[in-house]
Amino acid sequence: MANVKLAVIYYSSTGTNYQLAQWAEAGGKEAGADVKVFKVPETAPQAAIESNPAWKAHYDATKDVPEVTLNDLEEADAMIFSVPTRFGNMPSQMKAFLDTTGGLWFNGKLVNKVVSAMTSAQNSHGGQEATILSLYTTMYHWGAIVAAPGYTDPILFEAGGNPYGTSVTVDQNGKMKENVEAAVKHQAKRTVQIADAIKNANK
């Protein structure tokens, strides 16, 4: 699977989804993929970032993480997206980036890309499933192939049992309530395996 190119694309304000992205990167590498981690551009006003110490600290700590470009999507065989929940939907930062993919979509450049998604929220029923499904809605339009984890490994039940993608509950102090590292790595490996099968089938 060394020839599978996996892009892990995230948005994170205080670090949870950056951590999920790092675990996905590790899982992808364990599966033999060439993995790159990207963040989507921050669109919030600087004043909003400055008003939240945790947000400001994470913003400064990840300045060296490259921002994703449309070329990165075109080059990838597989993509894993990780975002926090915003009222049961993806954050505006991720939506703004996805809205720029029209040219790639129109030219069929995203067809048969293998995609998967993860999320976080402060409540276990705070829109986690809806957020992942909102991401997949865009990708169905691309003609991409969704690699949901389903219930393909018992480790998923230990992580909360979300069949659409790994999701984690975060407390008021920013600490994850569930141990989802193994589930994230499993999801990444499954995504790479499916991408490998599709890529080799087209040779």
The pLDDT averaged over each successive group of 10 residues in the chain (203 residues) is 87 95 97 97 94 93 97 98 95 97 97 97 89 96 97 90 93 87 97 94 71
What pLDDT, on the 0 to 100 scale, is given for residue 201?
85
The alpha carbon of 181 is separated from its chain's Cα centroid by a whole number of angstroms, namely: 14
Specify the pTM: 0.95
Asked if residue 82 lies in contact with residue 89, where contact means CB atoms within 8 angstroms, the answer is: no
So what CATH class is 5-201? alpha beta
Alpha carbons 86 and 92: distance in angstroms, whole number: 8
What pLDDT, on the 0 to 100 scale, is given for residue 1?
45
What pLDDT, on the 0 to 100 scale, is given for residue 173?
80
